[in-house]
Homo-oligomer: A and B are copies of this chain.
Amino acid sequence: MTEEIVVVEGDGIGKEVVPAAVTVLDAVGDFEFVEAEAGDAVREETGEALPQETYDLVADADATLFGAAGETAADVILPLREAVDSFVNVRPAKAYPGVDALRPETDVVFLRENTEGVYSGHEDRLSEDLSTLTRVVTTSASERLAEFACDYAPEGFHVAHKANVMRETDGRFRDSVVAVAEENGVDTDEVLMDAFATHVCLNPEQFDVVVCPNLAGDVLSDLAAGLVGGLGLLPSANIGPDNALFEPVHGTAPDIAGEGVANPSATILSAAMLLEHLGYEEEGAAVRDAVEATLENGPRTADLGGDASTEDVTAAIVDRLD
């Protein structure tokens, strides 16, 4: 059976890095690619950043590879995460040999709750002066995340939260995650999200896997991106019960879009996560190794100090696949 992979390039460098990743996927497997549209350009044309057709395709696909959207990012990616009922956003932040990193010791995976927190989005304008947002935390979502974390990191993980202030909501999050871990015999360490921000700078080695609420995961993974040399290298996976959506953590990079010089590494690493998720463990590992070898030995795009094109880098990665 040929798996169906929906491909949503989106805007800006999405149009360059997603085709690069498709080239790599094509080189290692036999997939059916279905293109779908989303983002600023579609909104310009149709008034809607995320056509229903794209939503439906993503919801039904075996997996989706997404690039980036511009101003409409939130209008596109939040519903698409929902389309795959994604309860966890897996975000590895790893420094690579050959890439300048503020903290080369960094190798942390964030398991970000992907459905609630402030992202549940109930906001009200209560008066001329006052607006509110209802932050939502459920035991069920926290437990689902924790089950995943126990499988992912049986050797133990950190739980980041701000339960000293958000006692009821982050307290529920923390207690639910810790309870599931205990049932599964998995060790956990708690860390306040503000303290994490300091400590990951001072001692990144101490963190391997960090389970966090939605916004905490957003900010802390971007912080880790700063420690490994920028967003250009971070892949991510939005995992749902039946399928999943993979995307680089970076945006559309309008300053370099259209020039063919974007770094495709984050998207190709996202494709490696996609392969592993579909059960192609060996192919996923091969792609990851080829990306790492290319980061170490070149060719490199301008963001990493080189002058290679997106195509050059992609060709080098394909060459290095065994």
Binding site for B on A (CB under 8 A): 73-74, 78, 102-103, 118-119, 121, 123-125, 128-140, 162, 164-169, 171-172, 193-195, 197-202, 215, 218-220, 222-223, 225-227, 229-231
Contact = CB atoms under 8 A, between A and B. Distances in A.
Nearest to A78: B165
B136 A134 contact: no
A102 B166 contact: no
A5 B164 CA distance: 28
B168 A133 contact: yes
Most buried by B among A118, A138, A199, A219: A219
A133 B166 CA distance: 7
26 contacts: A73-B164, A118-B135, A118-B162, A118-B166, A121-B165, A123-B168, A129-B139, A129-B140, A131-B137, A131-B172, A133-B137, A133-B169, A162-B215, A162-B218, A165-B215, A193-B219, A194-B219, A197-B222, A197-B226, A198-B225, A198-B230, A201-B201, A201-B225, A201-B226, A201-B227, A202-B229
B226 A199 contact: yes
Contact of A165 (B102, B119, B124): B119
Contacts of A231: 198
A190 to B, nearest CB: 13
Contacts of A134: 132-135
Given A130-B138, A195-B222, A223-B223, 15 more contacts: A74-B165, A102-B102, A102-B103, A118-B162, A118-B166, A121-B165, A125-B172, A129-B140, A130-B137, A130-B139, A132-B137, A133-B166, A134-B134, A197-B223, A197-B226
Nearest to A230: B202
Contacts of A131: 136-138, 168-169, 171-172
Given A123-B167, A218-B194, A230-B202, A138 B129 contact: yes
Contacts of A195: 222
Nearest to A217: B194
A198 B222 contact: yes
